[in-house]
Amino acid sequence: MSQNDDALRSARFRAEREAKWRNLEALVSQAETRSTRRMGYHDVRNLVDLYRQATTSLAIAREISLDKALLAYLEALTARAYLTVYAPQTPVGGVMWRFFSKGAPQALRRSGVLILLGVVCMGLGVLAGYLLYFENADWFYVFMPTELAGGRTPEATTGDLLDAIYSDTSVETGALGAFASYLFSHNTRIAFLVFGLGLFLCAPALILTFLNGLTLGAFLALHVERGIGWDLGGWLSIHGVTEIGAICVACAGGLKLGSAAMFPGMRSRADSLRHAGHDAAKLAIVAAFMLIVAAILEGFARQMVQDMVWRYVLGWGIGALWLSWAITTGKERIS
């Protein structure tokens, strides 16, 4: 060591600690690539230890050193080490399984009342649409968007209506295409809107759910009037139970956000929204998953199962499965 070296305090400071910093740097990159849970006990202990020492070094260096490169190195090193120590990777394994076995059903149960509210809303819509149709058949055109009806209006003959119920459309468009077009159908859009609009103080979500019920009620009334109500029921059941369930769940998610914004309680509004977001996000994923299942049922199963009774059995059977999943799974025993 020359005289010059000994004289420069910051250079001495650096020379004494350099090895530890390099060691920390190696440990940090190891922790980032392999995660701390797979590192040995000593390595993890050293990582934390060296990190604390490095923060002290940084504090001193800021005071005594004018070496820009050294300061930048220490700033970057400590920040990087901070992330590995305080914000390590959360375990990814079993995320899906945890969601479906615990998170989602628990969220569904917590939001049971809201889902019921969605169901009631939809039910009232169906009832109103049904009764209004019998009062005056022109209501059908008010409730039903023309592109959705696809020619199945009060003007169509009973035979046409029956053909639509027991037709096999998948032959022309290809299975995947049919699946895709069903998934991006009217109801998916409704579910998205219902969820998103819930944020604006609940009302749009409820109104939209009700309107969707009106459409369904009028459509049902048309077929009941022709005496083929049961056939339509089967056609709707096979995917509709799941699909309408999804809309109700999405509605509950929207209501959750809306009610959090309206009645924040002891929390601030933003905080309350963030809290409600936990369940709302889970409900949104459940709704999306149900819509995908519904599209599969609509795209494949409805063409394969042409018998009315089996359509009922399949549709409501799957509905019962959803319900039992939501009610029974993921209960934690309190010991």
Count other C-beta atoms under 10 Å from residue 190's C-beta.
21
Tell whether the torsion through CA atoms of 195, 198, 204 and 208 is positive or negative. positive
Q: Does the CA dihedral 18-23-25-28 come out positive or negative?
A: negative
**Token representation of residue 103:** 């998170």
**How many whole angstroms separate alpha carbon 64 and alpha carbon 33?**
34
* Distance between CA atoms of residues 85 and 43, nearest Å: 12
C-beta of residue 246 within 8 angstroms of C-beta of residue 155: no
When the beta carbons of 67 and 231 are compared against other proteins, the nearer one is 67
Size of the site for other proteins (CB under 8 A): 64
Which residue from 23, 46, 82, 231 is in contact with other proteins, where contact means CB under 8 A?
A: 82
Nearer to other proteins, 5 or 163 (CB): 5
Is residue 72 at the binding interface for other proteins, with CB under 8 A as the rule? yes
Q: Is 316 in the site for other proteins (CB under 8 A)?
A: no
Taking the least distance from each CB to other proteins, the nearer of 278 and 316 is: 278
DSSP 8-state class, residue 298? I
* Residue 226 identity: R
Determine the Cα–Cα distance for residues 295 and 220; give it in Å rounded to an integer. 21
Nearer to other proteins, 111 or 237 (CB): 111
Q: Which of 285, 293, 301, 313 binds other proteins (CB under 8 A)?
A: 285
Which of 136, 108, 155 is closest to 284 using CA atoms?
108
Part of the chain binding other proteins (CB under 8 A), chosen from 89-97, 120-128, 139-147, 327-335: 89-97
Based on the shown chain and the rule CB under 8 A, indicate whether residue 95 belongs to the binding site for other proteins: yes
Whether the CB-CB separation of 240 and 318 falls below 8 Å is answered with no
Closest CA to 227 of 166, 142, 167, 157: 157
Minimum distance from residue 155 beta carbon to other proteins (Å):
26
- Binding residues for other proteins restricted to 129-188, rule: CB under 8 A: 173-181, 183-184
Binding other proteins by CB under 8 A: which of 16, 56, 267, 323? 56
Helix then strand then coil, % of the chain, to nearest 5: 80, 0, 20
Q: With binding defined as CB under 8 A, does residue 204 bind other proteins?
A: no
* Residues 245 to 274 in contact with other proteins, rule: CB under 8 A: 270, 273-274
Rule CB under 8 A: is residue 77 a binding residue for other proteins?
A: yes
Q: How far is CA 259 from CA 256, 263, 264, 267, in A?
A: 5, 6, 8, 13
Contact between 7 and other proteins (CB under 8 A)?
yes
Q: Which is nearer to other proteins, 71 or 124 (CB)?
A: 71
Shorter beta-carbon distance to other proteins: residue 89 or 328: 89
Contact residues toward other proteins (CB under 8 A) are 2, 4-5, 7-11, 14-15, 21-22, 25, 32, 52, 55-56, 58-59, 63-70, 72-73, 75-80, 82-83, 86-90, 92, 95, 173-181, 183-184, 196, 270, 273-274, 277-278, 281, 284-285
